[in-house]
Structure 1
């Protein structure tokens, strides 16, 4: 219900906030609202469900850290490092800061909370993946902000990456490596995104 409410409210909040403020202030403001009003409280309230999900970097299966570190490498080259090299250092620093906050918080709020309360139900965790993907729909309507490959890149990317992190969380009963992977994937994606939209 909290996840459904998030998407419903963000459908109003995102276009409003990004219209009232500049694209940079509006977009970062939306992220802060998301972190403070959804990710942190949901992680705190629902993260310790009946099933204990670790936040440590334990890897019960050797492929988990390999996959966790391979994803950001793929995204780094796919996003194009030449698109942001030489951009304003302040913008790049802000991009990295947002990435390092957003990735771990999303894993704690989405993967850990849904896994902890799933009773090992795959459909329940797939529901969490669907709701995670759904919240990116209102984000697409950020005023003055463009996303690489449009809605397919933003929403499809969230679905694909979220699916991998869901599998990793289920396999290891830990969000440690998904948190690391998500933070690095966000860094690889946010650097060109911030440079393209907010530099200069």
Structure 2
């Protein structure tokens, strides 16, 4: 691997290592909701934004944010719409009785920031830095994206719908799908939309179930 590729991987590993003690410490000291949101902010500031600035901003390919698709790939938006619908059925439908407007507003804000930054940093970062080694970039980006969700499962005072296995397993499954589409198309446009919508539904349930709003 080149030095920039090693730097990106080490940055991701450092993020995971730092969050393993940080997430439980913050959620225990500040309370689950406040500590969880602060952990996300530290993640955005300590990983997503630096990766975007160092690895994506001036090095991205011309298609990274493109919405255009060749005719043979126009089934991709439909597939992502189906994925979002399945998540909605699994997350929203069983929990309609506890959902509130205030939590929806907070979830929309957090999802917009998180989904966008994650796609540019993870998919965009690895697409850009590993353009010469796509298979390695695909695998490393997917594994590390999945792994970063593991520290969140250590949160105190936060109950995840389905437990930690749903949290990490969901990240693995969705990350694999989004990775495949991003690498196939060379763009993060469509997966970013799916990521934001998916995050919105997941955060809405999480926030209402844990008293965020």
TM-score, normalised via structure 2 length: 0.87
Kept in 1, the 8 Å contact 2:107–2:200? The answer is yes
Aligned counterpart, 1:66: 78
Report the RMSD for the aligned CA atoms in angstroms. 1.7
Q: Which residue of 1 aligns with 2:139?
A: 126
Structure 1 stretches (4+) deviating beyond 6 angstroms?
Answer: none
Deviation of 1:86 (Å): 5.7
Shift of 1:68: 2.2
Alpha-carbon offset, residue 51 of structure 1? 4.7
Which residue of 144, 148, 160 maps to 2:173? 160
Pairing 1:163-174 to 2, within 5 Å after superposition: 163-174=176-187
- 1:188 pairs with one of 201, 206, 212: 201
Q: Structure 1 residues 120, 53: CA separation in 2 closer, same or farther (over 3 Å shift)?
A: farther
- CA deviation after TM superposition for structure 1 residue 149, in Å: 1.4
Structure 1 residues without counterparts, runs of 5 or longer: none
Change (3 A) 1:53 1:115: farther
**Residue 87 (structure 1) shift:** 3.6
Look up the match of 2:38: 29
Matches within 5 A, 1:25-104: 25-47=34-56, 48-49=58-59, 51-60=61-70, 61-81=73-93, 83-84=95-96, 87-104=99-116
* Partner Cα distance (2:118, 2:76) in 1: 18
Unaligned 5+ runs, structure 2 = 1-9
CA deviations on 1:44-95 (whole Å, 9 max, x unpaired) are 2112547554213222311221122221111011113351456442222111
Q: TM-score, normalised by structure 1?
A: 0.93
Secondary structure in 2 aligned to 1:198? Answer: coil
Q: 1:142 — aligned with what?
A: 155
Give the distance between the partners of 2:162 and 2:39, measured in 1 at CA: 21
Aligned residues between the structures: 200
